[in-house]
Structure 1
């Protein structure tokens, strides 16, 4: 399995698309380098993980440009756009909203809570409809963007993302994205931010390895040490952003990677753009299962300007082999004869732990097409297929249309849903040709 990890892109309104875009060359070179690296590795990414700060100020136009750039990146590296997963960072927060007195009061109340009472305080805020909306209000533009990737967040039941992939031996990789930005504002400082109690529900599962990605590293979280201890017990791979400085920690039980920023501010000391590629595979050795993690850390060098490998002493990559608990896939005990050859039993992975199925994969692809439609077209399709419920009127747009997508899947209407989307897109194309 190959994972492309990017963080801190900081698409800034007024810069991208302009005649003097300072990051145009850097951005183009990153895409070219990622394409070349994938070709050298002989594979394409199974997942693209973006650990926050997609935008610079949480502006809608910044996310519109991000969407276009993500499509270009996926096209070049040979990955479906539906394989993108995102979490928010502090720059994905609309700070003018986060500055409102009621939200600041909630932030200070949480920040001043004694550590032993923190979990209860956070649950209280997030489980209450009004205060939950307050805390997540500054992430509305982010959620409208993330919704197309089925990564939008909404308290109390969906404050983290989860997606599951099949590893080479049939076991599962569970990829979980944590939100560390729901108490973020202009007043951020170390130890002033949080992950919520849902982050601590991650647990060991039979035949499942865990990868967790989050924007803020532990030292920025008031409950960071608690999170570090918990993830040290359950998560083999931990990815972070925010500090714009790449670091790789190889532990017996886990690998932690802090990413360079894809677009750090050029006035920063130690300016060093970068991104990561992670190869994962499971192998069996002397009766043990081991997860092999090979991290290709790509960093920018000057004169000549290009991305190059960050070296681990003599190697162009970082490697760790992590012991996993024993696990065996289910096997078919029968065999049959075909002509003169014996057809041996095939191994069938245990599907019970795999969240993704064919309908969910289709839903992700449809979500991208659906969210590109205008509000009125999305509403018309939902109404025509009777996918709207009365309680949806209270939901923000991104959540309302997420529920529409999920109902289409649950009711076996994905084919009809796609037909309506294609018809709506056709109408848009005709209108554009006439203009």
Structure 2
């Protein structure tokens, strides 16, 4: 089973859509021998300024990708990032009266309007603007996956740029639905997706980590995000038991697929992840592109120890292997 994880696409024009879809398809098909994908995950910052033109380009890209690799609508998971809110629409929520500094809630939610229309064009249904409903479950029974999409940018606007957070009620509503359908989801690998990191050098990270406890308790095993423009791997441990028995979430960041050159982190190229699930193992293949018009290549950055070659992938053991009876 193969899952394509892209983040921080920062689309601008149709020319980008044509170029990037061609580069990516060539890498998947010719270099990685991938002819179909089981899921496509976009973990935020689809656009750059959240304009209709940018989302039109993004849709062209997704349409080409889904056609080439036989991806159906239910297999596409999309969450917004901070670049997916339109600041001009957000400004309309604020009164010119200084005695009313808080935004009008209904108008404030509409800064995600352009993202919402893109989501509808791809998924066939509108992304909910109400924050408490922005915990969306994507159930892929054939793949035995349950993916929870969350909006970590729901508080952000022009005046509040760094208060990334997971809405507690959105998470509560999603976890209630999981418990109500426990028999349906019990055999699924549970993956949570949002945009912002838990750890970063800047202040634009999720500081309240309480939601991670709830995810771990509910059986989630993986978390995917973006935002920091670097491919990273992290681990959140809920239980202070051994690594093999304690509840934990491996945290996977895909880097940036399409940020402007000036926004690349020094020492890091454009990147994306291809997740390969086989049995109890998850193999995260990382890919890099160093030239705007160039090709994707193995991103050989995962150290294996002194005197050993670095690898273009790392592996995660998802669950404890059962102990054989003597």
Confirm or deny a common fold (TM above 0.5). yes
TM-score (norm 1): 0.58
CA deviation vs aligned residue, 1:17-41 (integer Å, no higher than 9, x gap)? 3xxx6x8655532232123355x25
Shift of 1:273: 0.8
Secondary structure, counterpart of 2:272 in structure 1: strand
Correspondence for 2:4:
4
Classify the secondary structure of the residue corresponding to 2:110.
helix
CA deviation map 1:75-106 (0-9, x unaligned): 2334335532211111111101222353899x
**Contact 1:8–1:51 under 8 Å retained in 2:** yes
User: Where does the alignment leave 5 or more consecutive residues of structure 2 unmatched?
Assistant: 237-242
SS at match of 2:296: strand
| Structure 1 equivalent of residue 224 of structure 2 | 239
CA 301–250 in structure 1, closer or farther in 2 if over 3 Å, else same = farther
1:257 aligns with 2:252: yes
- List alignment gaps of at least 5 residues for structure 1: 111-129, 283-290, 327-435
Mapping 1:251-330, distance limit 5 Å = 252=243, 253-268=248-263, 269-270=265-266, 271-282=268-279, 291-301=280-290, 305-311=294-300, 312=302, 313=304, 314=309, 315-323=311-319
Structure 2: distance between partners of 1:26 and 1:8: 13
- Give the aligned length: 285
Contact 1:298–1:307 at 8 Å: present in 2 too? yes
RMSD across aligned C-alpha pairs, in angstroms?
Answer: 3.2
Cα distance between partner residues in 2 of 1:303 and 1:263? 9
Report matched runs for 1:341-420 at 5 Å: none
SS in 1 for 2:94: helix
Mapped partners of 2:192, 2:31: distance in 1: 24
For 2:260 and 2:160, the matched residues in 1 are separated by 18
Give the TM-score taking structure 2 as reference length. Answer: 0.75
- The equivalent residue for 1:351 is none
Report which of the two structures shows the higher radius of gyration computed on alpha carbons: 1
**Change beyond 3 A, Cα 1:5–1:145:** same
2:141 counterpart of 1:166:
yes
More helix by share: 1
Alpha-carbon shift at residue 321 of structure 1 (Å): 1.2
1:180 aligned residue (131, 148, 152): 152
CA offsets, 1:96-144, max 9 Å, x none?
1222353899xx869xxxxxxxxxxxxxxxxxxx73x233210011111
SS of equivalent residue, structure 2 residue 118: helix
